[in-house]
A and B are shown apart, each in its own frame.
Chain A
Amino acid sequence: MLQFNDINLPCPEGLTLAALLEAQEVDANQIATAVNGEFVPRALRAQTRLAAGDTVLTFQAIVGG
């Protein structure tokens, strides 16, 4: 299992960050990603393999002061 935005999900062998986002129907161009607290650039999502126990967070643009 892995955690995706606080939701537990299965982590099949070879799952990539890009595949996870696609499976979760996330608009990949509208978010930034971090795996285990480390930023993963958009260009590296397809080659970033996930493992059981990983924590994946996505961030989106919002208003701010």
Chain B
Amino acid sequence: MSTPTNTWAPYGTELTSRFLLGTAGYPSPQVLAHSIAASGTQIVTVGLKRTLAAGGDNGFVEIIRTAMQEHGAHLLPNTAGCRTAREAITLAHMARELYGTRWIKLEVVGDEHTLQPDPWGTVDAAAQLTRDGFAVFPYCTDDLVTCQRLLDVGCEVLMPWGAPIGSGQGLINPFALRTLRARLPGVPLIVDAGIGAPSHAAAAMELGFDAVLLNSAVAQAVDPVRMARGFGLAIQAGRAAYEAGVMAPQDMAVASTPVSGHPFLIN
């Protein structure tokens, strides 16, 4: 991998990678470990579940902890599955104890079919968790006012969706994402969910987003390790393009070769 062009610092933690990687759905712990290494990620997401008699996770969590130690990276536990602010707050406290981090990816789902975040529940939970000392990474929609309310209650990072979780549709509302970037300069913005292909991730970065979080697009690839590498490169390319300044599109052709008139005058 080439050297990233610069760093970013969610909640004051300076990072060189702008790729946040989910850890669910990989074919084996070994593939997950290799995917983490290939991605260059410095943040991986993890979860919590109720303990059942069947128990066990087939060694995935141990692989994640080992990989994180080897790469000096960070864990970002989530509150997946929560439908109310109260549930999310409780799960966040458990995550802080189990994983030993105050970082929390806050998810409060409001619709079963789209898994769209509940804006009211998310804001309420974010407010309480911030008071409780958490560094909240809220999974939210691309609605500007919801994002502003999340900032009002103490969030320093926002994670608007690109499309519904696991859909792989890419950026379904680039206008809203551009609006967020324009209206919230200086706020670390991470596109979370809906990314299906590296080109989607590059497009998000070209819009000026600070990072991309994805899971299924790598885990469900035919070759997750190669796909993780591909996403890492795409995210770097998109960031480089944003920093370089993408040219303004034109309606009509604009000749690029500096010729003078016609090369031949033949009647």
Contact status B24-A5, CB under 8 Å:
no
Closest residue on chain A to residue B96 by CB atoms: A32
A61 at the interface (CB under 8 A from B): yes
A42 to B97, CA, bound (A): 8
Contact status B52-A5, CB under 8 Å:
yes
Interface size on A, residues (CB 8 A): 23
Contact status B49-A5, CB under 8 Å:
no
- List residues of chain A with CB within 8 A of the CB of B57: 60-63
A34 to B51, CA, bound (A): 12
- List residues of chain B with CB within 8 A of the CB of A38: 90
Per-residue B-contact encoding for A41-53, CB less than 8 Å = 1, 0 else: 1100000000000
Contact status A59-B91, CB under 8 Å:
yes
B141 at the interface (CB under 8 A from A): no
Q: Which among B45, B94, B166 has the highest number of chain A CB atoms within 10 Å?
A: B94
Cβ 8 A contact of A65, one of B55, B78, B99: B78
A26 to B55, CA, bound (A): 11
B39 at the interface (CB under 8 A from A): no
Contact status A65-B45, CB under 8 Å:
yes
- List residues of chain A with CB within 8 A of the CB of B50: 5, 57-59
- List residues of chain A with CB within 8 A of the CB of B91: 59
- List residues of chain A with CB within 8 A of the CB of B49: 59-60, 62
Per-residue B-contact encoding for A11-55, CB less than 8 Å = 1, 0 else: 000000000000000100011111001110110000000000000
New contact pairs (16) apart from A32-B95, A62-B60, A64-B77, CB-CB < 8 Å: A7-B53, A31-B51, A31-B98, A41-B93, A58-B50, A59-B50, A59-B94, A60-B55, A61-B48, A61-B57, A62-B47, A62-B57, A63-B57, A63-B61, A64-B46, A65-B22
Sorted nearest first, the 6 A-B pairs with minimum C-beta distance are A64-B47, A32-B94, A65-B22, A65-B215, A63-B23, A39-B93
Which chain B residues have a beta carbon within 8 Å of chain A's beta carbons?
A: 22-26, 32, 45-53, 55, 57, 60-61, 64, 77-78, 80, 86, 90-91, 93-95, 97-99, 165-166, 215-216
